[in-house]
């Protein structure tokens, strides 16, 4: 907690990181897997919009959602909500794809595109009210 008795703002970054890793990891898209494929996918931008504070004993729900990538850039949208559904924080991260030679890629490599397609299909199933098989 901060001196005001609410969750310190810096913790929200970790909450987003955990949500992103849970979503992508479900489909085998981890940092280790990206390195095996010859890529690094660093976060290059993060934006958080604080709407209401989380309290120390409050249960929160964090969601992450991948946007359909048109280039070698992955954008995720996030929401942190209270148990009652109140929006506490919304956010966004951007990641780029860098190859073994430290070159910034412009197009998404096919292996990463396939992993992203699986995530997008899963998200569409959630939007339709069902959880597709993974």
Helix or strand or coil: residue 92?
strand
Residues written for the chain: 134
- Nearest alpha carbon to residue 15 among 80, 67, 83, 75: 80
Instruction: State residue 130's pLDDT score.
Output: 64
Average pLDDT over residues 86-105: 97
What is the rounded (10 degree) CA torsion for 12, 46, 77, 132? -80
Quick check: 132 pLDDT over 80?
no
Q: At what angle do helices 11-25 and 110-127 cross, to 10 degrees?
A: 100
**pLDDT > 80? residue 4:** no
- Would you state the pLDDT for residue 127? 86
pLDDT, residue 131, reads 57
Which pLDDT tens digit goes with each residue over 9-18? 899 999 999 9
Instruction: Report in angstroms the alpha-carbon separations of 71 from 2, 37, 56, 64.
Output: 39, 18, 40, 20
Assess whether pLDDT exceeds 90 at residue 94. Answer: yes
Q: Quick check: 133 pLDDT over 60?
A: no
Taking CA atoms, 91 is separated from 36, 37, 83, 87, in Å, by 29, 28, 18, 11
Token digits for 61?
């729900």
């Amino acid at each position: 907690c901060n001196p005001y008795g609410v969750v310190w703002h810096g913790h929200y970054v970790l909450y987003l990181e955990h949500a992103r890793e849970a979503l992508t990891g479900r489909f085998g898209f981890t940092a280790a897997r990206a390195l095996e494929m010859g890529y690094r996918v660093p976060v290059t931008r993060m934006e958080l919009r604080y709407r209401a504070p989380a309290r120390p004993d409050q249960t929160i729900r964090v969601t992450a959602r991948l946007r359909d990538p048109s280039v070698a850039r992955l954008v995720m949208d996030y929401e942190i909500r209270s148990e009652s559904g109140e929006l506490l924080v919304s956010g966004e991260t951007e990641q780029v794809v860098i190859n073994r030679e430290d070159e910034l890629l412009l197009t998404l490599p096919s292996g990463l595109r396939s992993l992203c397609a699986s995530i997008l299909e899963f998200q569409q199933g959630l939007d339709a009210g069902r959880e597709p098989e993974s």
